[in-house]
Structure 1
């Protein structure tokens, strides 16, 4: 028997095999980190850039508010200049310029109102400014009546001009409040813009440096992984070569052991055949002379002597049957099968013909289904059916005629043949033991050599089939075996 040492003694280690997988997992994690960190830094940079853009937008927005306030004040100043010039010279061009400025002041105030809608305090200041500006233009229109026939009296005109100057002072004060607030916001927003610009710059530089560092780290790790992978592959190749060498050695040992076992089996089978063949003639001689002596000394020997002769005769016959079974067992191992398409119906008929005396003595009823044609050795299968039917006849229940059924069923690529009886049965735990050589479950209670089922097993396995048994005590037995399906011609 060939035995293998434990794996720990074979010199094969699982370390190099597991190492590349571990390195590969670490490399995958590193590459994920290399990808995620730049993405995170890029996201922070984009967010900072958006903040920077918002800061610039608010700075520009504040400048727009300041520019719009200057435009309103400039419009008022231009309107006053055009009005005074017209009053002094009567130049219609100055009047038209005044009217043009007067027509655009409302749109400028509306633009200023829209620009400050995000600041409730500035909205209130703009509303105050709008009221004063519109009132100022209303008084300017009233003063223009001096140049029209039937206009305002001089005393009232002087009062209107004085009121206009007061309103202009008030307008400038409100505009100064709005401008001061916007200057404050502009200073704050410029500071935010500078801070955000610095943040964007820092994030961008960090993203660049971190990405470069991660790329360098990934490069080093990849290089290390490649080196370790090469080393691991070399170790694996060495281990594979060693393993192949060991497998080859074990295979050679197994082949040698199998050849030795095969030679031993052949020698044993040849010895059994020769021994059995050589024993037959002495046994026949002993049985013949014992029978002859019994006939010639009938009435001359006492009862004890007659019993001795009877025992000699029975022993010789039993020994002869055992030798015959040994010969059959040896032939099942050594003789080549004569395979040909074989109809199993005549095969079963021949087996029943050989058992006709036992069938008649026990009044047995044997039924069977139509059996198929298989590629087999008909003579060998006759012996198989003869042994299985003989077992069913031998192990029947006392006083009950044996009922035996032989059937066949095709399953995929094999035929399953079954011999079922109503005999005494046996314990299922002995279902494998009964096919071993010289195994007899019933001892000397029933005749036999213990070789019949062992012969069946050898013949069936030589045909490429299997044989098994199922039974319960007192419930009969069922012996089944398989044969390959006859291939189509």
Structure 2
């Protein structure tokens, strides 16, 4: 049985008993009200009956006086008899449920009607000056008998009604006592019913809820739960859910311990790999530095020897020109000197210059990885302003328009952050489209909720994303994965350089705990994004 059904029963059973008690109270109240109404009716009947005798006796006294004095004016007017008739009619209505009383009322009405006729005869005789000796005799003999009949019937009527009134008063008192007893019993019964209901709720529901609450607390504290509650109600269902949750939590705890052990093992492995990677990166940087440094001396020698060969070639060429050789010998030597030897010297100088530039680029990358940073809060706006001022010559040469938006501060090394924007702005200038006016915009995103590609960044990163947007040549989609690699140049015929500027930007951004990416459309332009920390970054 579920809680809803139990609740309905707890409400319905006491409610039904309450209704029965209320019905008993209302019944006794109705009986008492009926008895009170009967007592009131009896009192009204007695009052009406007491008001009938007086007018009749007064009228009889006036008739006797008229007969003695012979003056018809003593006889009452016609208004006395309608009043008596009306009062008797009211009495007849009030005792309509008692045939004996109604018969007495009819007898009283007949006696009044007879005496009314006698009074009219006396009045008529006195007005006509007739002999009233016979009427006087009648008044002395018959009429008092009529009034006596009226009095007897009225006394019998009052006696019967008084007895009935006494019985009704006794019934009213009994009903009132019963009503009071019933009301007290209803109140006491109602209190007992709700006390029993409260006891049932406390012993049944209260105990079960206490067990359920205790199991919930034990579940929260990680302690073993009590035995499951019996029954099929919602409390038992909740207790079963708690036991199931406890079993799942124990299973999850064991799985968590296993996963934690695995995670610790993976973390140890990752620490070893990171250490190996760091050592490898350091070894690579040292190797690049060593190789670059060691190659500079041979390159310097090659540059010197190439210059000496060039001087020797010039001397040899001048000697051949000044010598008086046969024409065919001179032309043959000139062809050798101006052809193969000159071209070989040019290739040698170009190769040496290229090798020197590559070595210098390698040294730049190595220095970027080994440079010691001094992080602080950097005014990016001021750093970018210095970069734009330094590149004003290139800006004027390309007739470009550079727009700076509001640039909030970042956390990092001032020189390194300035180098980032220097490379990005210089890259944008180098690859502007000569066919249209160049426009470069430098700004910051309003929010760092995403990294510019729809990827939501964690709030703990606290980064600020800046961008450098241009309307230049753009980058083909196939070349996008190679943009930030060293020595990768897309438009080598347009801009000079070794292709390490964007690689340096990525290296510096990563060392600051940030990142860099690009969005580009070929023929439309490119936008380079760089995310830098607002708070101190790790491993800087």
TM-score interval, smaller chain: 0.5 to 0.7
Query: Which residue pairs with 1:334 in the alignment?
Result: 370
Q: 1:455 aligns with which of 475, 492, 504?
A: 504
Instruction: Note if 1:403 corresponds to 2:438.
Output: yes
CA distance in structure 2 between the partners assigned to 1:327 and 1:176 by the alignment = 137
CA distance in structure 1 between the partners assigned to 2:221 and 2:421 by the alignment = 61
Query: Which residue pairs with 2:29 in the alignment?
Result: 57
Query: Which residue pairs with 2:215 in the alignment?
Result: 228
CA distance in structure 2 between the partners assigned to 1:406 and 1:72 by the alignment = 111
- Please tell me the root mean square deviation across aligned C-alpha atoms, in Å: 6.6
Change in Cα spacing, 1:417 to 1:204, as seen in structure 2 (3 Å) is: closer
Change in Cα spacing, 1:226 to 1:409, as seen in structure 2 (3 Å) is: closer
CA distance in structure 1 between the partners assigned to 2:272 and 2:37 by the alignment = 107
User: Contact 2:105 / 2:153 at 8 angstroms: preserved in 1?
Assistant: no
| Shift, 1:402, TM fit | 7.4
Query: Which residue pairs with 1:325 in the alignment?
Result: 361
Query: Which residue pairs with 2:121 in the alignment?
Result: none
Query: Which residue pairs with 1:7 in the alignment?
Result: none
User: Contact 2:374 / 2:413 at 8 angstroms: preserved in 1?
Assistant: yes
CA distance in structure 1 between the partners assigned to 2:463 and 2:110 by the alignment = 118
User: Contact 1:423 / 1:477 at 8 angstroms: preserved in 2?
Assistant: yes
SS of 2:518's equivalent in the other structure is strand
CA distance in structure 1 between the partners assigned to 2:307 and 2:179 by the alignment = 136
SS of 1:267's equivalent in the other structure is helix
| Bigger CA radius of gyration | 2
Q: 2:526 aligns with which of 465, 470, 477?
A: 477
Instruction: Note if 1:288 corresponds to 2:322.
Output: no
Gaps spanning 5+ residues in structure 2: where? 55-86, 119-135, 224-248, 318-334, 448-461
Query: Which residue pairs with 1:387 in the alignment?
Result: 423
CA distance in structure 2 between the partners assigned to 1:264 and 1:486 by the alignment = 26
**Which has the higher relative contact order, 1 or 2, with Cα contacts under 8 A spaced 6 or more apart?**
1
Deviations 1:37-79 (A, max 9, x none): 6565555454444322221122223433555566678789999
CA distance in structure 2 between the partners assigned to 1:440 and 1:177 by the alignment = 129
Change in Cα spacing, 1:467 to 1:406, as seen in structure 2 (3 Å) is: same
Query: Which residue pairs with 1:213 in the alignment?
Result: 200
Residue correspondences, number: 421
Q: What TM-score does the superposition give when structure 2 sets the normalisation length?
A: 0.53
User: Contact 2:518 / 2:529 at 8 angstroms: preserved in 1?
Assistant: yes
SS of 1:365's equivalent in the other structure is coil
CA distance in structure 1 between the partners assigned to 2:425 and 2:436 by the alignment = 14
Query: Which residue pairs with 1:278 in the alignment?
Result: 291
User: Contact 1:392 / 1:402 at 8 angstroms: preserved in 2?
Assistant: no
Q: What TM-score does the superposition give when structure 1 sets the normalisation length?
A: 0.57
Change in Cα spacing, 1:485 to 1:245, as seen in structure 2 (3 Å) is: closer
Instruction: Note if 1:156 corresponds to 2:143.
Output: yes
User: Contact 1:133 / 1:171 at 8 angstroms: preserved in 2?
Assistant: no
CA distance in structure 1 between the partners assigned to 2:139 and 2:267 by the alignment = 137
Deviations 1:331-375 (A, max 9, x none): 33332224576753444445678xx7xx89xx4235546798977
